[in-house]
């Protein structure tokens, strides 16, 4: 059996004919396996959805109770047989509930990793290495220029600025699922214990993280807080809100943005970001290449992002490698926000 007899890339996403399912389909399908809750991977309207309990909850929060015809929860380490294929979910270390999906048939194992990172994150289970024959990897930061460095160093930079400008607010753009909660957790780890303020669009997801046992200290809504109260405070908002009227309630804010793209100075400048924070939910170049090597996979399929360099790197290592041309993964979490799902629109419009 060849890998493509188990999984084949289609325009709607990777498809398993043996098991009659798609992984992270970009179009509506009968049976979808979803790696994580970001809107470009987790869409509404499928006939049936299999995902971790957290991913199902996050989809419910975003799309409402009827986001799929039927749902089935699967925990990390659990396997289910779907017709001719066996699937197992493993932690991907990307956001709460994020999973890599291992698909096995006839002794061959393919791992679809969704989005992942192989560095510590207090807000989700750590990435688990799964040995496999074929590894499907993302390539959001698949260029050697992307090295994210130490997130604690970035948070130290932020807290230094807060100490330096006690009369100014610090307004941090961070995507609502994963990034915002991780930034808050990192700020708390660094010892900052004052209230942290939240834009309304970040509240639901953040409260959900708290309900799953993540302690984030005292969080307050920006809504209702006066200008005087916000002086010297740290507040988080969706990146789009940094430039909106909404941000004018802050006294002389220092604008900040937490993203792997902040490694690119020009991008920070172009967005008018005064204090770029390189904090990413994705593996950087070293993380991608180290992970590919460690899986032991002889074949690599590369999707969404900078495929070419990673394919080239794999080939020079003697691996078979190909890009998967799937349209529709744009990542609400790491793009400039130009690809906006329904939720991203919602974020921009609500408080
Ligand atoms: Zn993602
Ligand atoms: Zn993605």
95 CA → ligand 1 middle, Å: 7
202 CA → ligand 1 middle, Å: 16
Calculate mean pLDDT across residues 231-253: 94
280 CA → ligand 1 middle, Å: 10
* % of the chain residues with pLDDT over 90: 87
Span of 27-31, 49-53, 261-265 with lowest mean pLDDT? 261-265
43 C-beta neighbours (distance < 10 Å), count:
24
Residues 225 and 293 in one domain: no
pLDDT(305) > 90: no
Ligand with smallest separation from the Cα of 328: 2
Alpha-carbon distance 39 to 132, whole Å? 27
Calculate mean pLDDT across residues 289-305: 95
Q: Is residue 233 part of a domain?
A: yes
Q: Are 77 and 101 in contact (CB under 8 A)?
A: no
107 C-beta neighbours (distance < 10 Å), count:
7
Look up the pTM and report it: 0.93
pLDDT reported for residue 327: 77
Q: Which segments of 119-233 are extended strands (E)?
A: 134-139, 170-173, 196-198, 219-221
Ligand with smallest separation from the Cα of 329: 2
Ligand with smallest separation from the Cα of 26: 2
341 CA → ligand 1 middle, Å: 13
What residue numbers bound the domain in which 301 lies?
A: 3-145+281-323
315 CA → ligand 1 middle, Å: 26
Residues 85 and 210 in one domain: no
Calculate mean pLDDT across residues 204-232: 96
Q: What is the pLDDT of residues 133-181, one digit of tens each?
A: 999 999 999 999 999 999 999 999 999 999 999 999 999 999 999 999 9
The residue among 307, 315, 318, 299 whose CA lies nearest residue 110 is: 299
The residue among 270, 278, 236, 268 whose CA lies nearest residue 253 is: 236
Partnered with residue 89 across adjacent β-strands are 101
Alpha-carbon distance 350 to 56, whole Å? 23
Ligand with smallest separation from the Cα of 177: 1
165 CA → ligand 1 middle, Å: 34
pLDDT band at residue 334 under the 50/70/90 scheme: very low
305 CA → ligand 2 middle, Å: 9
Write down the residue that tokens 């294929």 correspond to.
85
In this structure, what CATH number is given to the domain that contains residue 295?
3.60.15.10
Residues 254 and 239 in one domain: yes
94 CA → ligand 1 middle, Å: 7
Residues 204 and 218 in one domain: yes
274 CA → ligand 1 middle, Å: 25
pLDDT(20) > 50: yes
* % of the chain residues with pLDDT over 70: 94
Partnered with residue 197 across adjacent β-strands are 220, 235
Residues 97 and 168 in one domain: no
pLDDT reported for residue 1: 84
42 CA → ligand 1 middle, Å: 9
304 CA → ligand 2 middle, Å: 7
Structure-token pair, residue 202: 């970040």
pLDDT reported for residue 328: 79
Residues 215 and 305 in one domain: no
Residues 13 and 138 in one domain: yes
pLDDT(183) > 90: yes
330 CA → ligand 2 middle, Å: 6
Residues 58 and 40 in one domain: yes
Q: Total structural domains in the chain? A: 2
In this structure, what CATH number is given to the domain that contains residue 240?
3.40.50
């Amino acid at each position: 059996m060849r890998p493509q007899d188990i999984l084949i890339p289609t325009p709607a996403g990777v498809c398993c004919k043996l098991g009659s399912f798609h992984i992270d389909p970009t179009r509506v399908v009968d049976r979808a396996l979803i790696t994580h809750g970001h809107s470009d991977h987790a869409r509404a309207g499928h006939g049936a959805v299999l995902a971790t309990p957290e991913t199902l909850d996050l989809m419910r929060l975003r799309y409402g109770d009827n986001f799929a015809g039927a749902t089935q929860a699967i925990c990390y380490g659990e396997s289910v047989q779907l017709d001719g294929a066996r699937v197992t979910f493993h932690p991907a270390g990307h956001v709460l509930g994020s999973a890599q999906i291992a698909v096995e048939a006839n002794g061959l194992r393919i791992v679809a990793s969704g989005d992942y990172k192989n560095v510590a994150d207090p807000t989700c289970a750590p990435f688990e290495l799964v040995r496999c024959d074929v590894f499907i990897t993302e390539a959001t930061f698949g260029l050697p220029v992307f090295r994210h460095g130490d997130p604690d160093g970035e948070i130290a930079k932020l807290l230094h600025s807060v100490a330096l400008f006690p009369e100014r607010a610090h307004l941090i753009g961070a995507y609502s699922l994963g990034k915002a909660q991780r930034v808050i957790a990192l700020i708390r780890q660094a010892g900052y214990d004052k209230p942290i303020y939240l834009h309304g669009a970040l509240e639901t997801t953040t409260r959900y993280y708290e309900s799953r046992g993540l302690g984030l200290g005292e969080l307050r809504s920006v809504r209702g807080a006066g200008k005087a109260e916000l002086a010297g405070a740290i507040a988080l908002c969706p990146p789009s809100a940094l430039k909106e009227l909404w941000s004018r309630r802050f006294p002389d804010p220092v604008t900040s943005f937490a993203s792997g793209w902040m490694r690119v100075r020009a991008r920070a400048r172009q967005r008018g970001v005064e204090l770029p924070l390189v904090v990413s939910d994705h593996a950087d170049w070293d993380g991608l290449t180290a992970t590919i090597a460690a899986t032991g996979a002889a074949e690599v399929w590369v999707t969404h992002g900078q495929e070419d360099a990673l394919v080239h790197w794999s080939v020079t290592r003697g691996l078979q490698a190909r890009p998967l041309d799937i349209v529709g993964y744009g990542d609400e979490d790491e793009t400039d926000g130009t690809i906006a799902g329904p939720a991203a629109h919602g974020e921009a419009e609500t408080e």
